[in-house]
Amino acid sequence: MPLDVFHEGELAVQRRAGLLDQGAHVSRAVRASIPGVARDFLARQPMAVLGAADEEGRLWASLLSGNPGFLRAESDTELAVAALPVPADPLYARLGGGPAPVGMIAIEPATRRRMRLNGYGTPSGDGFHVALDQVYANCPKYIRRREPHRAPGTSGSPVVRTRDTRLPDHLRAFLADADTFFVATTDRDGHTDASHRGGDPGFVQVLSPTALRWPDYTGNAMFNTLGNLEVDARAGLLFPDWRTGATVQLTGTARTDWDPAAAAAVPGARRIVEFTVTGVVEIAGATPLRWSAPEDPRTRPPVAPPR
């Protein structure tokens, strides 16, 4: 795949990080079709994360779940998704109502494998189809091993517990203890991406009811997320509650802090990302899935000690 797989923002960040050559090398992993081994991987998954803009243009990341097989490759370039976000989710109306650029990540915490699928989604029955233009796997860094199961007696309707523009105290505490979240971003032309972020509990710092920050660790040198933020500051975050099936979704804007002193204060950080919260949605019972307590991943950056 040629270098032009990356847009201007991604190339600018690769250049600033001194990783332009490495980015060109890893660009070969990006395809416009689904490899055979990926079809089998997708068919096994009970969950995926979706990134898209709502009807007001705000970006969100949403959890999708279903029985294995709800993600199905109908051809090399078409993905069928037999699920929508729950009705209380900010993206439910958008995905059920018309075509939209979408970014997806299918992740298997038990094996620490993940696959990114970006394209254009159109409604189809109780789900949607995605015409794919980017398909690629990511390395297993920073994913904590967990085993899924379906909780009995979880067929009730999801309930919105919080809908606000600021983080209440209980959600500030929840985010500060998180070891995983997902982030949706977009480029200047609206092409959307969904990505994973992980670390020890405490790697997300909650600075105030409207401000978060987290370290950007060494990755694959693609800089899809930071490259998108270089040209469009909108972002959406999804924090799953692995124990209860609840989700916390945030929308807002983000920026990359390139100050070496800021990164040096956080062990393992190469850069710092700052996020401003403009919307909060907490949904209880967003998925019937529950996950085991995590095992330590092989690669885990340390968390900065409390100040």
Tell me if 48 is assigned to some domain: yes
Q: Which of 215, 176, 224 is nearest to 5 (CA)?
A: 224
Whole-Å CA distances, 67 to 47, 89, 147: 8, 20, 15
Tell me if 120 is assigned to some domain: yes
Tell me if 304 is assigned to some domain: no
Asked whether the predicted pLDDT for residue 10 surpasses 60, the reply is yes
Query: How many Cα atoms sit within 13 Å of 263 on the Cβ side?
Result: 16
Q: Name the average pLDDT for the chain.
A: 90
> What pLDDT shows up at residue 277?
98
> What pLDDT shows up at residue 258?
96
Tell me if 47 is assigned to some domain: yes
> What pLDDT shows up at residue 156?
63
Kindly indicate the confidence band of residue 2, based on its pLDDT and cuts at 50, 70 and 90. Answer: very low
> What pLDDT shows up at residue 3?
41
> What pLDDT shows up at residue 150?
84
Give the domain extent around 172. Answer: 3-141+158-291
Task: Please give the average per-residue pLDDT across 94-117, as a whole number.
Answer: 88
Task: Please give the average per-residue pLDDT across 160-179, as a whole number.
Answer: 96
Q: Which residue has the higher pLDDT, 305 or 80?
A: 80
Least confident of 27-36, 69-78, 239-248: 27-36
> What pLDDT shows up at residue 300?
55
Tell me if 298 is assigned to some domain: no
Tell me if 38 is assigned to some domain: yes
State how many domains the chain has: 1
The CATH number of residue 222's host domain is 2.30.110.10
Asked whether the predicted pLDDT for residue 175 surpasses 50, the reply is yes
